Structure 1
Amino acid sequence: MHLQISSTQNKTVKRLIQLQEKSRNRKKEGVFLVEGLRELQLAIKGNYQFQSLYYCEDLISFEKLEALNISVKEIFQLSLEVYQKIAYRGSTEGVMAIAQTKNHDLGDLTFQQKNPLLLIAEAPEKPGNIGAILRTADAAKVDAVLIANPKTDLYNPNIIRSSVGCVFTNQIATGSTREIIDFLKEKKINFYAATLQNANVYTKEDFTKPTAIVVGTEADGLSELWREEATQNIYIPMQGEIDSMNVSVAAGILIYEVKRQRGFLLINNE
């Protein structure tokens, strides 16, 4: 039997809203809210653990709910009014769950191949950009995404939404710039900083060895540590009036050059 909630003043409803809106609450409880069928399916595939499931039978069929095959301690049936009060997205599928956050320590990273490809973003702040970077990383199947000096909670609902669930499909670690540089050097991974200073055109570099591509924010670029300690600084030539592009677009161009050099495009065109 599923527990029913029909009042927006219910304490469970208030808790769910707090988890949607406040990073402090997510960090304190070590949980976050996953909303939508696709996102839940990807979180399940990413081996996330769940506490409870919430659904609205006006919006989702019981067959679709059962097909999730999600393991939870409790299931709650919400009225349409309650569900719409909690839901972050305007177009919603009628299902959400509380999931436990993961640790994203550098020491937990594992690589399945000898020449891994990493994508590193320093101090990204806009959830939309972070989500787009994670989508690019998933599309190119990079081995890990590293976020240096993070400024935004990884489980921000806008990151989950804008990444279309790719926050669950990527291996992600966080740390300070210094910690990540030391990690790369210890693992003997070449790292290429996207910057205009003392840089070569990105197509001139050899990315067939263990490689990390490092991008900064459009406003501030990369910090001095990256520029000074990188294996090589690289830049993308531009013909217009400005000297920078959206960070996720730049990351995509550079990551796919690495994939091209490693034969990815040839393999997929055969």
Structure 2
Amino acid sequence: MHEILSSTQNPKIKNVLKLQEKSSERRKQNLIVFEGNRELGLALDAGFKIKTLFVCQEVWGDERIEGVSQRDIFYISKEVFDKIAYREGSDGLIIIAEPQYHSLETLKLPKNPFLIILEAVEKPGNLGAILRTADAAQVDAVIVCDPRTDIYNPNAIRSSVGCVFTTQIVASTSDEVLEWLKARGIVSYAAALTATEFYHETDMAKPCAIVMGTEATGLTDKWLNGADKQIKIPMRGKIDSLNVSTSTAILAFEAMRQRGF
């Protein structure tokens, strides 16, 4: 029989809640928290170091978990699990791991890269959805400029369905990224309502990046003026814009189409 943690006042359980709720705590401890067997598998495949795995056997069952040391596994009661589970329909696993951080200089890119650049992304759900798109469209990296949310926010991990672990992600400043793109000959396409060229008329088969702004205000002048070209998506309805994750998906899959699925 395994010892089962059954109190929500247990220090380990209280720390899970702190990591979920406070980005400052995640930075301080250099830890992230997420849940789910699929996410665990993707994190292990990507070389993330698992520090602690909490298992609720009433939900998970007795199936053996591979890739995690037994000394790092703790069993918890259903009551405790319900307290710390972050999403409905979770499968009984909650994981604490060390994050991985890339820089512009450590990115591993092919000769003909395709990148997604996000300026000042502020909604974790949008970031996660875009990471899911990036995985599906085989985007080489996602660069977040001047971020307003933690890239390992639990909501971002959840909405990415684990694709936060499958995609190279960099947080940087707009100035650094603009300089880096130009030094490497990567063409930048800024998505803007004021553009005169439609996205499908643009050559995305060469080394390039699409640059997306916030839903509320779009891109700043730094990117509108600094990017090589502005492009737009045709809008035929009364609303003049789409959700940023939807717009990103349209542009990313056009690049994928041009590059030959």
TM beyond 0.5 = yes
The structural deviation recorded for 1:2 is: 5.0
Runs of 4+ in 1 over 4 A off after TM superposition: none
Show the 5 A alignment for 1:12-27. Answer: 12-27=12-27
Tell me the secondary structure at the aligned position of residue 8 of structure 1: coil
Structure 2: runs of 5 or more not aligned: none
Contact 1:51–1:72 (Cα < 8 Å) also in 2: no
Residue 259 of structure 1 is matched in structure 2 by: 256
Residue 268 of structure 1 is matched in structure 2 by: none
User: 2:52 aligned with 1:59, yes or no?
Assistant: no
How large is the Cα RMSD of the aligned pairs? 1.5
Tell me the secondary structure at the aligned position of residue 204 of structure 2: coil
Residue 10 of structure 2 is matched in structure 1 by: 10
Q: Which residue, out of 128, 150, 155, partners 1:153?
A: 150
Residue 67 of structure 2 is matched in structure 1 by: 69
Q: 1:72 to 1:163 in 2, by over 3 A?
A: farther
Letter of the aligned partner of 1:135 in structure 2? Answer: R
Tell me the secondary structure at the aligned position of residue 59 of structure 2: coil
Show the 5 A alignment for 1:222-261. Answer: 222-261=219-258
Q: 1:120 to 1:73 in 2, by over 3 A?
A: farther
Q: Which residue, out of 177, 181, 185, partners 2:178?
A: 181
User: 2:108 aligned with 1:110, yes or no?
Assistant: yes
Q: Which residue, out of 87, 90, 106, partners 1:89?
A: 87
Tell me the secondary structure at the aligned position of residue 242 of structure 2: coil
Letter of the aligned partner of 1:240 in structure 2? Answer: G
Deviations 1:201-245 (A, max 9, x none): 112211111010111111110011111121111011111112211
Residue 211 of structure 2 is matched in structure 1 by: 214
Tell me the secondary structure at the aligned position of residue 60 of structure 2: coil
Letter of the aligned partner of 2:173 in structure 1? Answer: S
| Cα distance in 2 between the residues matched to 1:199 and 1:228 | 14
Contact 1:50–1:72 (Cα < 8 Å) also in 2: no
Deviations 1:46-104 (A, max 9, x none): 211111111011111232x42x3224752211111111111111222111121001123
| Cα distance in 1 between the residues matched to 2:137 and 2:143 | 15
- Under a length normalisation based on structure 2, what TM-score does the superposition of the two structures give? 0.95
The structural deviation recorded for 1:258 is: 1.1
Contact 1:13–1:86 (Cα < 8 Å) also in 2: yes
| Cα distance in 2 between the residues matched to 1:127 and 1:189 | 27
Tell me the secondary structure at the aligned position of residue 33 of structure 1: strand
Provide the identity percentage. Answer: 49
| Cα distance in 2 between the residues matched to 1:53 and 1:240 | 48
Contact 2:34–2:158 (Cα < 8 Å) also in 1: no
- Under a length normalisation based on structure 1, what TM-score does the superposition of the two structures give? 0.92
| Cα distance in 2 between the residues matched to 1:69 and 1:48 | 11
Aligned residues: 261
| Cα distance in 2 between the residues matched to 1:45 and 1:261 | 29
